[in-house]
Structure 1
Amino acid sequence: MTAYNKPNVAINDIEKVLQNHFGPGVTKITPLLGGNLSSVFSCMLEEKGYVVKFSDLEGAYETEHYVSKLLSGQGIPFPKSLALGKMGQFTYSIMERVEGRNLSDCTLEEQNRQLPEIIDILTRMAATDVGATRGYGWIGADGNGSHASWKDFVVAVNAEDQTGTFWENWHELFSTSCLERDVYEEIYGRLMNYVSYNEANRGFIHGDFHQWNILSDGTRITGIIDGNCMYGDSLIDLAILDRHMPRSGVVEAYQSYQEKGEMVIPNFKERLMGAYYFKGLDGLRFYAKMGMRDAYVGTRHFLLNLKA
């Protein structure tokens, strides 16, 4: 199995999509770095910035369109979705551009100074009202989750048959990449021991909550972008942030924030363990497919040395 290649979109196709939506006058069409599954470009119209993204994956951006309305409607700094459409083999999405740079481009000191604001946003995302929806797992275009239970979702995303998805034929990775079957099965077994703790807490999960999807002006957070959004235990976002900012005391900062707000966190340790295993297992598979061996080895070491 080879690493996934982002779609190669011709400049005239990009111009056509933007002109169809905005009309004439779009300038400064510029490719943006980042994003593993999309080709992303920024542009300007009358001094306002926008982003257009292209994907050849089925159903790309439908959930993002829904999530944009959900989060921006509740005051979360998530970019507003303006258009969703098809152009040939590609799906495209046009969104308002949030000013700022990736938090990853800030110094560690700058990142740590903004950690309280990041924790506040994480907490508010977790408190998003999802009571009108049902299900766990991937959020669909209708706002509902893909599976009836968290356990069903965990089993499904780790199943061998992933026909028609990014993970189609992923078991080939056991023979063509650094992915080790015994390690994968060990972590999966541990994950299943914590499923019941996570399932008892259903909320909104961004699913990719780290410095490359958090924007900043250097002193404050200006926006949250992208995401592999799902319903489940919101501590998964905390686990993701902690793994990407391991020297920043993320978990301690989160617990302190909750204590100050007199918010009770039931079964915190067990839920966080389940969150680490869930995202870590997905990370092992992803890093192996993308040929990111150092990230694979680091995640493998972390997961195997987790203590209950």
Structure 2
Amino acid sequence: MAYEKPELTMSEIEKVLWNHLGQGAAEITPLSGGNISNVFSFILEGKDYVVKFSDLERAYETEQFVSNLLLDQGIPFPKCLGLGRTNQLTYLIMERMEGRNLSDCTAEEQTRLMPEIIGILTRMAEADIGGTNGYGWIGPDGNGSYSSWKDFVIAVNAEDQTGTFWENWHELFRTSCLERDVYEEIYSRLMTYVPYNESNRSFIHGDFQQWNMLSNGTRITGIIDGNCMYGDSLIDLAVLDKHMPWCDVINTYQNYQKKARIVTPNFEERLIGAYYFKGLDGLRFYAKMGWTEAYQDTRHFLLNLKA
């Protein structure tokens, strides 16, 4: 059965906003986007805000840290105003950024904005994380959850995912289009590239694509959401390339790096490792969501990926 986002009544939403912000929230409106969250905009005292709801218990605990980290880096990321639980759901209240989803812009607008997007990706990778340690998912304290990138890769692909979005995910081999032999083949290839990615530790947005960017058509006005982690920043580049292939992402990135005189050691190997890492997770996700066409496209890309 495909995953479905949690449903809420208007009275439940109003109660959360009342308890956290007091009286006065108006024009509560559902927003599109978000695969595991139900998102609503609202107005309070003339200002725009967003509230997100998820049935994953600790879905938003890291966002306060990430918000502060990215805002300090000059990256337009929403400020967090409230975090809590209601009726088995986690919610997060944030300032609403100006603009609309980049996905709603034309292909020409998206292509024109790609150099700016690459600049944002580069600044995220340069964020000061020297006071933190670890790899993988970022915790509320700002540290990664694993001692090495290899440990993280093994953990996120393990069968036991109790208490997470991927609990009982091996059932997908039986109930969905997810193929065990294909999954195991890609996983084997991924592990051969782990050493290339492991030597690079930066902030990673984790879902850096047009649905998580806002724009007014002439500039990027906000970066939102994310599955934030520490590891190789080329993972964000791989996500961007696979979601926006019409924008010549890789060439734009390499030209940007060249002009900025930034050297990227083992670029090709690290990028292939990034494709395998995100692509493998994509296979599971598309299977769970019932998105067969996206599954088949990703399957074809990964199996034909050449070193």
Same fold (TM over 0.5): yes
User: Does residue 226 in structure 1 map to residue 247 in structure 2?
Assistant: no
Distance in 2 of aligned mates of 1:117 and 1:18: 35
Q: Which amino acid aligns with 1:141?
A: P
User: Does residue 173 in structure 1 map to residue 172 in structure 2?
Assistant: yes
User: Does residue 86 in structure 1 map to residue 85 in structure 2?
Assistant: yes
Distance in 2 of aligned mates of 1:300 and 1:122: 26
Q: Which residue of 2 aligns with 1:98?
A: 97
Q: Which residue of 1 aligns with 2:196?
A: 197
Q: Which residue of 1 aligns with 2:26?
A: 27
Distance in 1 of aligned mates of 2:59 and 2:188: 31
Equivalenced residue count is 307
Task: Tell me by how many angstroms 1:70 deviates.
Answer: 1.2
Q: Which residue of 1 aligns with 2:136?
A: 137
1:246-281 deviations in whole A, cap 9, x for unaligned? Answer: 121101100100000111101100000000000000
Task: Tell me by how many angstroms 1:6 deviates.
Answer: 1.1
- Provide structure 2 residue ranges, at least 5 long, that are not aligned to the other structure: none
Q: Which amino acid aligns with 1:252?
A: N
Distance in 1 of aligned mates of 2:305 and 2:88: 43
> Is the Cα contact below 8 Å between 2:198 and 2:231 reproduced in 1?
yes
Question: What secondary structure sits across from 1:34 in the alignment?
Answer: coil
Q: Which residue of 1 aligns with 2:127?
A: 128
- The alignment's C-alpha RMSD in Å is 0.8
Distance in 2 of aligned mates of 1:152 and 1:72: 30
Question: What secondary structure sits across from 1:49 in the alignment?
Answer: strand
Q: Which residue of 1 aligns with 2:15?
A: 16
- Provide structure 1 residue ranges, at least 5 long, that are not aligned to the other structure: none
Q: Which residue of 1 aligns with 2:163?
A: 164
Q: Which residue of 1 aligns with 2:56?
A: 57
Q: Which residue of 2 aligns with 1:259?
A: 258
Q: Which amino acid aligns with 1:109?
A: E
The runs of at least 4 aligned residues of structure 1 exceeding 3 Å deviation read none
Alignment of 1:279-294 (within 5 A): 279-294=278-293
Distance in 2 of aligned mates of 1:164 and 1:24: 35
Task: Tell me by how many angstroms 1:8 deviates.
Answer: 1.1
Distance in 1 of aligned mates of 2:44 and 2:167: 39
Q: Which residue of 1 aligns with 2:207?
A: 208
User: Does residue 44 in structure 1 map to residue 33 in structure 2?
Assistant: no
Question: What secondary structure sits across from 1:62 in the alignment?
Answer: coil
Distance in 2 of aligned mates of 1:137 and 1:224: 20
> Is the Cα contact below 8 Å between 2:136 and 2:145 reproduced in 1?
yes
1:215-270 deviations in whole A, cap 9, x for unaligned? Answer: 00011100000000000000000000000011211011001000001111011000
Distance in 1 of aligned mates of 2:80 and 2:147: 28
Question: What secondary structure sits across from 1:296 in the alignment?
Answer: helix
Q: Which residue of 2 aligns with 1:303?
A: 302
Instruction: Identify which range, 94-103 or 38-47, moves more after superposition.
Output: 38-47
Task: Tell me by how many angstroms 1:72 deviates.
Answer: 1.4
Distance in 1 of aligned mates of 2:85 and 2:190: 38
Q: Which residue of 2 aligns with 1:235?
A: 234
Distance in 1 of aligned mates of 2:32 and 2:60: 18
Distance in 2 of aligned mates of 1:91 and 1:285: 24
Instruction: Identify which range, 226-235 or 5-14, moves more after superposition.
Output: 5-14
Question: What secondary structure sits across from 2:2 in the alignment?
Answer: coil
Task: Tell me by how many angstroms 1:26 deviates.
Answer: 1.3
1:200-222 deviations in whole A, cap 9, x for unaligned? Answer: 00000000000000100011100
Distance in 1 of aligned mates of 2:209 and 2:181: 28
Question: What secondary structure sits across from 1:171 in the alignment?
Answer: helix
Percent identity between the aligned chains? 74
Task: Tell me by how many angstroms 1:20 deviates.
Answer: 2.0
Q: Which amino acid aligns with 1:148?
A: S
